[in-house]
Chain A
Amino acid sequence: MAEASQPAVPLLQARGLTRVFSSRASLFAKKRELAAVSDVDLDVARGRVTGVVGESGCGKSTLARLVLRLLEPSRGSVAFDGIDLASVPAPALRLLRRRMQMVFQDPYSSIDPRYSVRDTLLEPLLVQRAQLDAAAQDARVAGLMSMVGLNPTLAASYPHQLSGGQKQRVGIARALAMQPDFLVLDEPTASLDVSIQAQIIALLEKLQQDLGLTYLFISHDLGLVRYFCNRIVVMYLGRVVEILPDPEAPPRHPYTRALIDSSFEPDPTRRRVVTLLHGEIADAFNLPPGCAYAARCPQASARCRDERPVLAQDGAHSLACHHPLC
């Protein structure tokens, strides 16, 4: 999957990215703040698949929206191909969006039920004011559909006539309509059956190779991420806790270890020993001063509860832990 000559500059670079959401004060509650994403540095290498993995509430979907500037960051910056997205005025940002697209988690809600497949695939062209005559539109729709393995005869179909897997293929085709070089894939298979998930992953792999795309792949499934991604960013409650330089790298953070131990392999001779934990995921509104994972971590010490470990680089591996596993 790696390209022969790789430019050193990543396609996407985020620095100190932070997004704070606050609840309004009301009669019953004080105003509360939640940092969904805190101080995240992220490099996405060209032509490669960077994975972000974590459980619900870890900030991975917020991160996806921040890097495309679908959400404004509270602090920090995102540079796409060397261009600082925060400084780009709206018209130029719209042009830039041709190059960066998103595939959403739930194809049932991310596609307009009143649009036919054809309408859905032509909408990006309308938004981007691409002037195409009817024949060119037909050709574009047919081309996109066959690219994602949909029979072009389905162009007049509406979402309710399609299966979940077919809808997600429409979602991918829509993201490809403007010929982007960067796709953010936000749990694109989480709502699909395993058999269909494997189909969609195979399709994404093929597209990535054929079109030389760069992916940011977001998932809660470490097994899938380890199969699909070249580099893996592990998040816990809004922060990056570990970056594995390659999918086979041994995990050094206890949370990454727990994620690996929780993903069951389809092999009864390799059953996992699951240790029952007492701790719960910490309250995101009220994070402890130390490591957010300390309450659930078997390695945790007093230091972990008081002092938050900083993400430190060791070669290509990054880790935020006071008591690394290896």
Chain B
Amino acid sequence: MALLDVSDLSVGIGALQPLDRISFALKKGRILGLVGESGSGKSLTAMALMGLLPLIGARVSGGSVRFDDTELVGLPEEVYRSLRGRRMALITQNPMTSLDPMLRVGAQIDQVGQLHLGLSAAAAKASSIDLLRQLRIPDSATVHQQYPHQMSGGMKQRVVIAMALAGEPELIIADEPTTALDVTIQAQIIQILVDLVRQRGLALVLITHDMGVVAQACDQVVVLYAGRVAESNTVDAIFARPTHPYTQALIACIPRAGQAPGSLKGIAGMVPSVGSYAPGCRYHPRCGKAQPICQGEVPVLQLQAEHRVACHFAQPQGAHG
């Protein structure tokens, strides 16, 4: 059974609807990649799952989010508080801004264990140091006593991951956890997250715009475009047979080893802003395969086993087409 089951989730801000009927399900021990360009609704989905929409003046306007069979939509805030940080945790994009610069990092991790697990100060400290060690931080007892400004970006991101793990959650939502980091450090952090999922049986929603990271780490993929699901499938299938023209274009944006010069294309145009979405299929103004029907009718997701694709002209494409 799925730990997280999102069905037809819509999010409204005022009269706008930036997220339109998103569905996916995730089991324990699996990693789901949520991909798309900036403005596709990835971070908004993360906020909705964590019940943080009121912070930005948004609300769930439809659909449901079930976590371990509990409906999260409409859950009273105090119940949500008991879940957040405890059973579900968020890792944000920028480790430089998600730590308090005035507090030792150890104290920030300890807090989670004390608050959510009722640990004593000493027990929380011991468990934080142990977590840091599991995240391959050398000399973790010293690092526990340091301030954020004394650490590198990669080290800070590990501390943020340790904070997320300190409540022993079952679900982690990581919103672009490596975007701000150097490439060698990015590879390390992704590997650490993958290892954690495999060893602890966590469920991880990994939000990224990088199809390379998706291919490396994820089991299943949801491609978002302008607030709607364009395509979702298992990772092997989506790269072997990308079916939505947007998925095909996103994959083609990353240069492969040995790719011929001049063959990199990109996607013409840009993601529209909320409120200026095209009628019908929202991708049609940028799509090379668009026909009049794409303007007139919203394509419906077709469902075959794990594969969903919202396109009037869905046709699988070969891996390197």
**Interface set of A (CB-CB < 8 Å, partner B):** 1, 55-56, 163, 165, 193-202, 205, 209, 220-224, 226-228, 248, 258-259, 261-272, 274, 276-278, 280-281
Contacts and interface: CB of A to CB of B under 8 A. Distances in A.
Nearest to A229: B261
A113 to B, nearest CB: 19
B184 A258 contact: yes
B255 A224 contact: yes
Contacts of B209: 193-194
7 contacts: A199-B265, A199-B268, A205-B262, A262-B183, A266-B251, A268-B235, A274-B188
A212 to B, nearest CB: 15
Given A55-B184, A268-B239, A202 B215 contact: no
B236 interface: yes
Interface in B225-268: 235-236, 239, 249-259, 261-262, 264-268
Contact of A223 (B155, B255, B265): B255
B267 to A, nearest CB: 4
Given A194-B209, A202-B265, A205-B262, A280 B215 contact: no
Contact of A264 (B138, B185, B216, B252): B216
B119 interface: no
9 A-B pairs closest in CB distance:
A198-B266, A199-B266, A227-B255, A264-B212, A262-B187, A274-B191, A55-B182, A195-B267, A264-B216
Contact of A272 (B37, B187, B259): B187
Interface of B: 37-38, 136, 138, 152, 154-155, 182-188, 190-192, 209-216, 235-236, 239, 249-259, 261-262, 264-268, 270, 319
Contact of B253 (A195, A220, A258): A195
A266 B254 contact: yes
Contacts of B187: 261-264, 272, 274
B37 A271 contact: no
Contacts of B190: 264, 274
Nearest to B254: A266
Contact of B213 (A163, A226, A264, A280): A264
B197 to A, nearest CB: 14
B250 A194 contact: yes
B236 A195 contact: no
Contacts of B264: 198, 201-202, 205, 227
